[in-house]
Amino acid sequence: MQEKFGEDLFEISSPYGMLTFSAHKNLNLKVLQFLYDDAELRFQFLTDLCAVHYPDRKGEELAIVYHLHNLIDNVRIRFKVYTNIEEPDVFTATNLYESANWMERETYDFFGVNFVGHPNLKRILNVDEMDYFPMRKEYPLEDQTRSDKDDEMFGRGGSLDFGNQRDERTHGTLLESDN
């Protein structure tokens, strides 16, 4: 791969023993085609395709992640391309992997990635009227102004352990019936 693409491949690592690398988004189809066609590599099965939102990576806020599998040698790899959130255009992989069809639709539905050339790119899990993409990290996880929630019930703070009193002598929990 280094001979073929050289400096166009970057972020090469092996977290948890899985080869992971990135390329520029305009090369995604060339890299995928090479991985598919190469007689030694034979990554002809697309296990998964998803996206990740990195709000702090200016100009590369969305990562499109391909998990590929060589079924003959039982080898898996992870391939990433990054795109700008303002123009989230990436070429579709549906001509190479038929399974990319629904995975790309789901990724579009939740992250807003526009897969250029996709045969039927539309929402499949969210309603058509949604004008946002729910998996982007654009909104706070919780409304900090809410006063009707009890953080203690979610294991955060408070003097009681989920409504149970602590017995300091035995470091155990006293239930209401034990009092």
- Residues 111-156: pLDDT tens digits? 999 999 999 999 999 999 999 999 999 877 666 676 666 666 666 6
The separation between CA 168 and the C-alpha centre of its own chain, rounded to angstroms, equals 44
Q: Provide the pairing of β-strand 75-83 with 19-24.
A: parallel
Residue-wise pLDDT for 14-53, tens only, equals 999 999 999 999 999 999 999 999 999 999 999 999 999 9
106: which residues sit within 8 A by CB, 6+ positions away?
Answer: 50, 124, 125
Domains and CATH numbers, the chain: 2-141 (3.30.460.80)
* Alpha-carbon gap, residue 112 to 131, rounded angstroms: 10
Q: What is the DSSP string of 49-100?
A: EEEEE-TTSTT--EEEEEEEEETTTTEEEEEEEEE-SSS-EEE--TTT-TTH
Q: Which whole-number Å values give the CA distances from 37 to 15, 44, 139, in the listed order?
A: 25, 8, 42
Does 170 have pLDDT greater than 80? no
Answer whether 79's CB lies under 8 Å from 32's CB.
Answer: yes
Q: How confident is the model at residue 55 (pLDDT cuts 50, 70, 90)?
A: very high
Q: String of b and e for 58-81 (b: at least 16 CB within 10 Å)?
A: eebbbbbbbbbbbeeeeebbbbbb
Between 116 and 162, the higher pLDDT residue: 116
Please report the pLDDT score of residue 48 as a whole number: 98
Residue-wise pLDDT for 76-85, tens only, equals 999 999 999 9
Please report the pLDDT score of residue 2 as a whole number: 86
* Alpha-carbon gap, residue 46 to 53, rounded angstroms: 21
User: If you average pLDDT over residues 153-170, what whole number do you get?
Assistant: 55
Q: Strand, helix or coil at 126?
A: coil
